[in-house]
Amino acid sequence: MASKKWLGVAATLILCSCVSQIVSLREYLQNWMGYPIDDLKEAVALPNAWDAYKAKIGWKETTYNLPNGNWVYVELDRKDCFVHWEVNPQDIIIGAHTEGDGCRFDDILYRKRCLAAGVGKCP
């Protein structure tokens, strides 16, 4: 009986450690700040679950210039969720924001996790 109990505890610990590795979209954005845009483009080019969707809608790399001399690289993160990465003239990521209804779910999860952690003020 005790071995079944420990097996359940071990399974729970393994499951929790796997789930905890999934970062929120907000954390994903923060983690790329200060990195070269080419590193991000390389990571985005790796095969992922959204490749079929990208092909279906004919997604192509998108960029645009900003009046301040910086430029923006647009990444399709998931259906109806686009990340706009602001890049300086040295090709370093200095900012990011999301657009699209598909991004909102992640913000709700982030806020719930923040509130549950009791870290104080949450966005």
Q: Give per-residue pLDDT as tens, 26-70.
A: 888 889 999 999 999 998 888 877 788 888 899 898 999 999 999
Pick the more confident residue, 79 or 10: 79
Q: Where are the beta strands (DSSP E) in 15-80?
A: 62-65, 71-78
Instruction: Look at residue 51 in the predicted model and tell me its pLDDT.
Output: 85
Q: Where are the beta strands (DSSP E) in the chain?
A: 62-65, 71-78, 81-87, 93-99
Of 73, 62, 84, 78, nearest in space to 37 by CA: 73
Instruction: Look at residue 2 in the predicted model and tell me its pLDDT.
Output: 55
Which region among 14-18, 69-73, 84-88, 113-117 has the lowest average model confidence (pLDDT)? 14-18
Instruction: Look at residue 107 in the predicted model and tell me its pLDDT.
Output: 55
Question: Using the 8-state DSSP alphabet, how is residue 101 labeled?
Answer: G
Question: Using the 8-state DSSP alphabet, how is residue 47 labeled?
Answer: -
Pick the more confident residue, 50 or 111: 50
